[in-house]
Amino acid sequence: MQKKRKFNVRYIPLYVLYAAACTFFFVKLVNIQITGADRYVKTMSLTHEREVAVQSMRGEIYDRNGVPLAINEYKQSIQLDYASLPTDDKDRNETLASIISVLDKWEREAETVMPMTGVYPHIEYDNEELKSQLGKNRMYKFLIYHNIKSGLSCIDLYEELLNEFALLDVDGEHIYDPHTEDMIVRIRYSLDATDFAPGNPYPLCSDIDLKLATAILENGCKGVFLKKDCTRAYGVPGVGSNVIGRIGKIPEGKMEEYLEKGYAYDAVVGLDGAEAAFEDVLRGEDGITVYVEDDYGNVLDSYVKKEPVPGRNVYLTIDIKLQEAAEKALGEQIRRIVYEARASGIENSGEKANSGALTVFSAKTGQVLALASYPTYDLTTFADDYSKLVSDPAKPLFDRTVSGTYQPGSTFKLATAIAGLMSNTITQYTSINDTGKYTYYSDYQPSCWLKNGHGELELIDAIGASCNYYFYETGRRTGIDEMNKYCSQLGLGEYTGIELPESKGILASPGYKESIGQRWNPGDTLQAAIGQSYNSFTPLQLSSYIASAVNGGTRYKATLLLKTCNYSGADVQTNSPQVLGTVDIDETAQDCVKRGMKRSKELTSSTKGYKFPIGTKTGTAQTSKTNNNAVLVAFAPYDDPEITLSCVIENGAAGGNAARPVLDTISYYFNLDKNGNRLSSTED
């Protein structure tokens, strides 16, 4: 029989210890699950999330043949983040001092906007910075923010900043060496004077290499991160700069407009040219990466909140090789005119020529093939050359092809001829006797350019000889209203529709003259009929007008956009030709214009030796008593006009001086030699 076990009192301490351990762990569990929640929330609150914009790839720009014009190039920059940069003055200064130390080792310097030069106490205001409205606005904003009165001397303001930024110890001694102190002041001024805020980091140092980026990361400073920036690289430097355009930070005064569209404060946008014209297409959508950091700035985790979407690539209608040929031909001719004028010793023969424009336009689609403006500039060196460019009296930044307006001179007579023919005022066989002086009015009797007149002329020969008298009479018979009806239909004094900012030009009329407080006189009609009076058009308008005159009367919208595609080259969207209007012009009128321009080509000394079948019309537009602009319009080939061209050379003396760059451009386009002869395959 089994014996009953007796309770051993010696086990009591073990039971007590076991029960105590169980009670301890139970209480601990309850504390963790319930009463300890606040402490863990507090621990979690020691981390924060920082959102960093991931810049999308901007679409790239190519010419019509796929030649890269503006493509992406990526560089890294050092950025300061508002959320994670220490707010305590001492900690913030220590962080900046650490960054400055790294930059010094790599011989780089932080980029700031402080309007002071020199190092304390040898400092003075930077007058260049304070000349700009932006610099003034920044300083005003800073002084208001820190409640500092304006009008302080430079050294007094600096000493205010030393106290404001806690850069002196309790004894008033400087904490940092002069260089480090100066850079801290500059950086902190820049942060407070700009829009440094959550979502808008401050770009401290741009275009850094991998070694410096690694050194910054290894330094472990709070509030610092690296950002990949997109800049442009140019496939054909110095060519087509006015067409391609620039990118940069959002311009002053347009910030609100871009912010409403969802742009970031530090976004890069198109400033002019195709970059600005097709901003909505080229622009992608930035992504967002979220970094989870502890209170010491250590990254604990990261995740992509929004993937970036690349912009679309844009293919322009421009043929960059044709553009290059046109720019070269235009520049060479302007220099040639000046050289020959000076060599001749004849005053006002072209020695003042220094600028001009040449355009090439598709007569069948409205596509713009070349827009050469002279002088021009190089996008790759724009920043370095900026001061020189803006002060150049020849205005290389001004796009004369679409913004410059010029009197058309005798190139306008083609429009007068169309108006006369279509209104049945004249026929192609109407003969007018040019006696030299037009005497219809007793009080205004202008003369033909040929002193003794051309004698009896019919329309085709009148266009060829550019007879003023013939078109005085045609203009008078037709009347200004009827004449301007056809001019407007041809696109004169009307926008071409090109995507670039363009001038509308002026079509001389009684309404325009009344708008400037003057009365229209019969003599104004005579002057308007030969392209004088207030007539003033852009070179692109002239090319568009000639296209409408020789293509059967269709006025196409001028365009620079050939097609777009996504970044990988798929999803191609082609830009189809658009018709802005039609001209009431019959085959007889069209034929008269073409034959008249052929006759003009044959009679003009600078074009008559050119073998390729084309039509041209010169114009000598008087700009003052001593100076004339040289103007020429053309189409080619004669039988089936494919392209139209216009050239204006400011102070070019005579219309024939504008011929050479037009002929050279036609030769390049059709693969001809300089005399208009076909090149063999070996000569090509």
Tally the C-alpha atoms within 13 A of residue 571's C-alpha that lie toward its C-beta: 8
Tally the C-alpha atoms within 13 A of residue 323's C-alpha that lie toward its C-beta: 28
Q: What is the DSSP string of 526-568?
A: HHHHTT-TT-BB-HHHHHHHHHHHHTTSEEEPPB-EEEEE-TT
Sign of CA dihedral 201, 203, 209, 212: negative
Buried b (16+ CB within 10 A) or exposed e, 150-173: eeeebeebbeebbebbebeeeeee
Once rounded to an integer, what is the mean pLDDT over residues 3-7? 51
Q: Tokens in use for 609? A: 């030796």
For the chain, what is the largest distance between any 2 Cα atoms, rounded to a whole number of angstroms? 159
Once rounded to an integer, what is the mean pLDDT over residues 405-434? 98
Instruction: State how far Cα 347 lies from the chain centre.
Output: 38
Q: What is the pTM of this model?
A: 0.81
Query: Which is higher by pLDDT, 47 or 104?
Result: 104
Buried b (16+ CB within 10 A) or exposed e, 71-101: eeeeebbbbbbbbbbbeeeeebbbbbbbbbe
Amino acid identity of 72?
N
On the question of pLDDT at 91 being above 70, the answer is: yes
Q: In 3-state terms, what secondary structure has residue 276? A: helix
Give the end-to-end CA distance of the chain in Å, rounded to a whole number: 125
Confirm if 50 and 83 have CB atoms less than 8 A apart. Answer: yes
pLDDT at 297: 61
Q: Name which of 290-299, 398-407, 415-424, 608-617 the model is least confident about.
A: 290-299
Instruction: State how far Cα 271 lies from the chain centre.
Output: 4
What is the rounded (10 degree) CA torsion for 407, 410, 413, 414? Answer: -100
pLDDT digits (tens, 9 = 90+) for 339-348: 999 999 999 9
E strand residue ranges, 275-354: 287-293, 299-306, 313-316
Which three-class secondary structure string do you get for 654-678? CHHHHHHHHHHHHHHHHCECCCCCE
Q: Where are the alpha helices (DSSP H) in 579-683?
A: 587-603, 659-670
Fold (CATH) for 48-85+201-316: Penicillin-binding protein 2a (Domain 2) (3.90.1310)
Arithmetic mean of pLDDT over the chain: 91
Domain spanning 320-564+577-670: CATH superfamily: DD-peptidase/beta-lactamase superfamily (3.40.710.10)
On the question of pLDDT at 579 being above 90, the answer is: yes
Q: Tokens in use for 414? A: 């083609």
pLDDT digits (tens, 9 = 90+) for 25-78: 666 666 655 555 554 444 445 677 877 777 788 999 999 999 999 999 888 888
pLDDT digits (tens, 9 = 90+) for 601-621: 999 999 999 999 999 999 999
Q: Where are the alpha helices (DSSP H) in 397-452?
A: 413-422
Sign of CA dihedral 139, 141, 143, 146: negative
